[in-house]
């Protein structure tokens, strides 16, 4: 399907099947709330299910690590100001992303809203 890579490919003998899952639209600017360190600005870019972006926490910007989008399921890792690694998992619904941030010291419910 052109530039859109399949999410899965299955081969059996001489036949191949491809599976595409329609990804949620996440490209743009988001504000993530729920962390003690204050709001996180997320700048996400997207090409089909391939995503990446930048997280800005307390004025410090860093790239997201391991960003993944599968349908409406979003996950990534980022560094917090105290240098802890935080893992986010959540679901996208129109202008909101709800999920959980896991750090070595806490599990927090968070929500991001499209700016």
Single pTM value for the model: 0.90
Instruction: Decide if 80 contacts 37 (C-beta within 8 A).
Output: yes
Beta strands in the chain (DSSP E): 8-12, 15-19, 28-33, 40-47, 50-57, 60-63, 65-70, 73-79, 85-93, 96-102, 107-114
| Span 43-90, pLDDT tens digits | 999 999 999 999 999 999 999 999 999 999 999 999 988 888 999 999
- Residue % of the chain over a pLDDT of 70: 99
pLDDT at 45: 98
Looking at the chain, the whole-number percentage of residues with pLDDT higher than 90 is 82
d(CA 76, CA 87): 6
From the options 2.40.128.20, 1.10.3470.10, 1.20.140.10, 2.40.50.140, give the CATH code of 22-114: 2.40.128.20
Q: Residue 3: pLDDT band by 50, 70, 90 thresholds?
A: confident
């Amino acid at each position: 399907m052109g530039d859109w890579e399949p999410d899965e490919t299955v081969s059996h003998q001489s036949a191949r099947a491809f599976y595409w899952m329609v990804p949620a639209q996440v490209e743009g600017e988001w504000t993530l709330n729920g962390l003690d360190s204050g709001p996180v600005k997320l700048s996400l870019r997207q090409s089909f299910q391939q995503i990446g972006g930048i997280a800005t926490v307390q004025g410090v910007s860093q790239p997201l690590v391991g960003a993944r989008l599968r349908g409406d399921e979003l996950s990534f890792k980022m560094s917090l100001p105290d240098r802890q690694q935080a893992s986010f998992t959540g679901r996208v619904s129109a202008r909101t992303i709800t999920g959980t941030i896991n750090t070595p010291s806490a599990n927090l419910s968070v929500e991001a809203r499209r700016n």
